[in-house]
Structure 1
Amino acid sequence: MMPIYSQVLGEEFNQLHPMLQQRYKHIEKEPYEGSGVMKRISRGPKWMSPLMMMGTRRKLLFPEKGTFIPFTIKHKPQTGEAGEDQVHWERVFYFKGKKRYFNALMSLDSERGIIKDYLGEPSVMYSDLALTVLENGGLHIQSKRQRVVLGEKEIPLPRFLQGVATVVETFNDERNVYEIKVSVQNPIMGTIFSYEGEFTEDA
């Protein structure tokens, strides 16, 4: 397996916090499992609930919100149909009596220096992802161009219809935990979905 995250970051990868370097080197080579708690999960306006409920069928979005929600995170390296290296992400949120997912399949576009991110199962959305390292050694991920996936067709989305995602992952040395913040914003509707929490690698 080629290291898709370290390859897209290049020399900047060495500026990541050592625990983040370890984590991302690990998930590029073998399955990774972690568990923790989402201190807060928020969603957009109530009128968006039917759309969010539809997202549950594709393991993408969900209408629930809350605080201190248990969750698990799993990564699995694999090879795509065209022979490309991929990493499958599975995030499961355990609400009372319900399991909700936020899954993705990532691969490298080495020519453009971005991560290709297919969201949902089967995929319904695509985003370019740009990765940078923060001054504190955290990893910053920002979505760029997006497309709707309709079978074999991918239709570019105008900016006003996009859900722009921002992800920040850091490591807390005092508490020995990974911390994660995710926010998906639309220029018109505001917050579509967000969560903030922490996790540790399973033994």
Structure 2
Amino acid sequence: MTIYSTLLGGNFEKLHPKLQHRYTLPIDQTFYAEGHMQQIQTGSKLLLPLYLFASKLNFLFPESGENIPFTVANCCRINQNDEAEVSWERSFFFPESVRKFNAKMTIDLEKQLVKDYLGDVPLFYSDLLFKVTKEGFLMITSGTQKVVVGNKVLKIPNIFRGRVVVLEGYDEAKDVYTIHVSIYNSLIGRIMTYAGEFTESGR
């Protein structure tokens, strides 16, 4: 068992069997997949400085587009704190650039949540709550978010939070995984949304 099956407990078995396979993630074995995003949309031009800064950390990025090829790789390893940690490496192949959206996740069993450190330099942190839907899909929503500055951890006020909703499923008719992600803010609206399909593959 790795972090997601440990966190979800008995509910893990309520996931669609393909999602159970995807999220079992044995130690040091990589789940690799490729597909396309039917649509990627970013937000207001006022957010361009944030996008440009975050893109240097392999987090957010400024491009939007349709039918964008992408890959995802997940691997669970034991980190320096002796915790099971899952790396997320997502690459989006735009016509003129390749953008990444990376993260590392561990779990807090006491609080029953996932700790998500965003980007290759973990300046941004978010609590994530995992839930299995009645259809056997995985729904992920965000909670508390923080900025890490040196040895200081600063909580982001709720009004400035990027509220995240992720729904990952499996389409049996098409034999593909499906993904829908929405990141929005109550003041400025959409920060980023994307929706697509993918299949497991070997590198």
Question: If the length of structure 1 is used for normalisation, what is the TM-score?
Answer: 0.96
Contact 1:142–1:166, Cα closer than 8 Å, also in 2: yes
Bigger drift between 148-157 and 30-39 goes to 148-157
Conserved 8 A contact 1:59-1:100 = yes
CA drift at 1:38: 0.3
- Count the aligned residue pairs: 202
- Once the two structures are TM-superposed, the CA of residue 27 in structure 1 deviates from its matched residue by 5.7
Q: Tell me the equivalent position of 2:95.
A: 96
Alignment of 1:21-170 (within 5 A): 21-26=20-25, 30-170=29-169
Q: Which amino acid aligns with 2:98?
A: K
8 Å contact 2:2–2:26 — kept in the other structure?
A: no
Identical-residue share of aligned pairs (%) = 40
Q: Which runs of 5+ in 2 are unaligned?
A: none
The runs of 5 or more residues in structure 1 that have no matched partner are none
Q: Which runs of 4+ in 1 moved over 2 A?
A: 26-29
Tell me how large the CA RMSD over aligned residues is.
1.2
* 8 Å Cα contact 1:114/1:129 also seen in 2: yes
TM-score (norm 2): 0.96
Cα distance in 2 between the residues matched to 1:143 and 1:35:
25
| Amino acid in the other structure paired with 2:60 | L
| Residues 16, 170 of structure 2: 8 Å contact kept | yes
Q: For residues 44-80 of structure 1, what are the alpha-carbon distances to aligned partners after superposition, in whole Å with 9 as ceiling and x for unaligned?
A: 1112122211111100010000000000000111122
1:6-29 Cα offsets, whole Å, 9 max, x none, are 111111111100110111113655
Which amino acid counterpart does residue 43 of structure 1 have in structure 2?
Answer: T
